Chains A and B, each alone.
Chain A
Amino acid sequence: MTESDWPLFEVFIRSRSGLEHKHVGSLHAADARMAVEHARDVYTRRQEGVSLWVVRSADIVASDPEEADALFEPARDKVYRHPSFYAIPAEVKNL
């Protein structure tokens, strides 16, 4: 068995308690347990984190770049969705 036979996993690390897990990269492993161990050895050697997630890359459902226009363009002209669009009345305190 060679590494290319092993499925790819995506690795997420929580750097400190209270923070979210962030994607840091990927690796090959034969199973989930091995993936956690590899993630520990490859990505947390310098105290990068306090928690790990691994997810099979094949299980991630991604948006299609071909559809990027349809998915993301319509948000472009809706500036009123940003809070900065609204002028705050002077009477409103502590906002």
Chain B
Amino acid sequence: MQTETRTDTRTEAQQQQAHCHYVLRLADTSLVLGQRLAEWIGHAPALEEDLALANLSLDLIGQARLLLTYAGELEGQGRDEDALAFLRDAPEFLNLALAEQPNGDFAHTIVRQWLIDAWQLEIYGALEHSSDTRLAAIAAKAIRETRYHYRFSSGWLVRLGDGTAESRQRTQRALDDLWRFTAELFAPDGIDERMSRAGIGASLPELASRWSARVEEDLRAATLTRPATQPFPWHGKRGVHTEHLGHLLGEMQHLQRSYPGARW
């Protein structure tokens, strides 16, 4: 009897930790992508695009704040959104590796954005029906923003892909460079499966074909060629990152690291 109770407690603790990590993965993907987009401020190809990218960035950081706060509560160790955003090191970040890829040229930024927007459309769409009502409410808010992000990025994808010879070539190159990170988007691991079984998380294999069809349709409109599938997924969501994340965090966390507890 006692052993059984201990097992139950342990299973419950594992479930709670998986839940926390699941939310943290969503939070970190939004946070890191938001930080990347913020790097464009003052450098975008036109004033109007500067505002557009800053707008996307603010939406994503807003999503990250809600999700980080929730993840901190699930963790139950007193860490708030700021502690999670500014005081964790790269291996503790659980974002998709795609989100941390450098801005590159405008085509790279657009392709990265479009791939993640299409992913978030599916994920948030599924999470609106999560048995976790808090997560469902965050997803319901986020998906309205994501629909606009996708409108923006898919519009640019077609404009660039079906544009001049140079814009087409650059966009295809961006697609070829970034495609290897898409294998991670819908590859479920133990946490995904556990959360999906509990009705909390999305069922990734079910969403993969919808994402793929959407991506296919946009690529056709943009006259771009879908690269070959990469069998090996990156594991950003398990904390295995490319070298780029450390540099991004160095800039993002500099102030809190240098002046701990500094406030506006």
Task: Please give the residue numbers on chain A whose beta carbons come within 8 Å of chain B beta carbons, in ascending order.
Answer: 1-3, 6, 27-31, 33-34, 37-38, 40-42, 45
Contact A28 B159 (CB under 8 A): no
> Given the known A-B contacts A37-B152, A45-B55, are A27 and B48 also in contact in the complex, defined by CB atoms under 8 Å?
yes
A-B contact count (CB 8 A): 34
Tell me whether A2 and B45 are in contact in the complex, defined as CB-CB below 8 angstroms, given that A31-B159, A37-B151 are known contacts: yes
CB of A28 within 8 A of CB of B48, answer: yes
CB <8 Å contact, A3 and B46: yes
Residues of B near any A CB (own CB < 8 A): 45-48, 51-52, 55, 148, 151-152, 155, 159, 164
Closest B residue by C-beta to A39: B48
Given contacts A40-B148, A41-B48, A42-B51, 7 further A-B contacts (CB under 8 A): A28-B48, A29-B48, A31-B159, A33-B155, A37-B151, A41-B55, A45-B55
Which residues of A have CB within 8 Å of B46? 2-3, 6, 28
Set of chain B residues within 8 Å of A33, measured between Cβ atoms? 155
**Do the beta carbons of B48 and A38 come within 8 Å of each other?**
yes
| A34–B159 touching, CB < 8 Å | yes
Q: Chain A contacts of B164 at CB under 8 A?
A: 1
Given contacts A30-B159, A37-B151, contact A3 B45 (CB under 8 A): yes
Closest to B158 in A: A33
- Asked if A3 contacts B159 (CB within 8 A), the reply is no
Tell me whether A37 and B51 are in contact (CB under 8 A): no
B45 CB contacts on chain A under 8 angstroms: 1-3
Q: Which residues of B contact A38 (CB under 8 A)?
A: 48, 51-52
Count chain A CB atoms within 10 A of each CB in B48, B148, B151, B155 and give the residue with the most. B48
Which of A2, A6, A37 is most buried by chain B, counting CB atoms within 10 A of its CB? A37
A37 to B52, CA, bound (A): 8
**A45 contact set on B, CB distance < 8 A:** 51, 55
By the criterion CB–CB under 8 Å, are A41 and B52 in contact?
Answer: yes
Per the bound structure, the CA–CA distance linking A81 and B210 in Å amounts to: 64
Q: Is the CB of B48 within 8 A of A42?
A: yes
